[in-house]
Every structure is written in structure tokens, then in C-alpha cells.
Amino acid sequence: WMKLKSIFSGWYFLDAENGQVLWSAQDWDSDVLERTEVFPKEILSCRAVSREINFSSKEKIQDFKVQQKIWLFGEVIEEWNFPFGFVIPNSTNTWDQIIDAAEPDEMLPVEVISGNLIIETLFYNTASIVYRS
């Protein structure tokens, strides 16, 4: 995969109903491929979560998109795709997505997912992976 000269300066998860920041990470090191993060259990009680990604790019990106695969016990249980589109070279951008929660009876218990859930995040320029974490 090819790596772009992009800087992820902030990632945030907010309660989409009231805007309360539930989790954040600044100065995301784009050279680190794996991180361990602890999300508060309150995130599971939200009907919808707003994810905000702040990034800068020195390069033009024709068709920027993110794909997230949710892994549990070695199996992909969910996959999300979010298109961003064209990124202007030498620009700073904020990207928001709303992620709706499953119905309460479809949610996995916190005891099952705690410490067992892996979120693989892939950023693409058209079909080429440009960043992975």
C-alpha cells in the first residue's frame, strides 16, 4: 500500500444527541499501525455516535474514503464504509460521520466485547490503501 503525506490531528467520538465528547485522541501518529484504546462504556448507551476526524493532507486525494472492519474473536462481525471524496492539496479538513446504534436487543453485552473487539481502519485513495490502523 502507498502512504500519503497526511497528518491526523484529532479523532473524537461524541454523543450525537447532545454533543458530549466521549473519547478523543490528538496528534494521531500515522506511522503507528496498531494502538490500544479504551472507550468508555457510556458509548454503548448512545442511540447514535458522531465520529469526527481532523486531518491535513499535503497531497491531492482523488477519492478519499474510510472502511472500518469490526472484528470479534477473529471474525468480522460488521463493516462500515464512509466516502469523503476529493481532498484539496495542502488542506486541513474535518470529517464527521454519524454512526447509528443497533437496537438494544441486538447489542452485544459489554462483557463479551470488552478486550475482545478490534476495529481495523483503512483509508483509501480510490482503490489503494493509503493508511491503515
pLDDT, tens digit, 9 for 90 and up, residues 11-39? 899 999 999 999 998 866 666 667 778 88
What percentage of the chain exceeds 90 in pLDDT? Answer: 42
* Distance (Å, whole) CA 55 – CA 52: 10
| pLDDT tens for each residue of 61-113 | 899 998 999 999 999 999 989 999 999 999 999 989 999 998 989 988 889 99
This prediction has a pTM of 0.77
| Of 39, 38, 36, 32, residue with least CA distance to 8 | 32
Q: Is the dihedral of CA 102, 104, 107, 110 positive or negative?
A: positive
| Of 64, 129, 52, 38, residue with least CA distance to 95 | 52
| Helix or strand holding residue 112 (H, E) | helix 110-113
* Distance (Å, whole) CA 49 – CA 119: 15
Strands (E), 34-127: 48-57, 61-72, 75-87, 91-100, 117-125
| Of 52, 43, 56, residue with least CA distance to 110 | 43
What pLDDT was estimated at residue 37? Answer: 81
| pLDDT tens for each residue of 54-69 | 888 888 889 999 899 9
Is the Cβ–Cβ distance between 54 and 93 less than 8 Å? yes
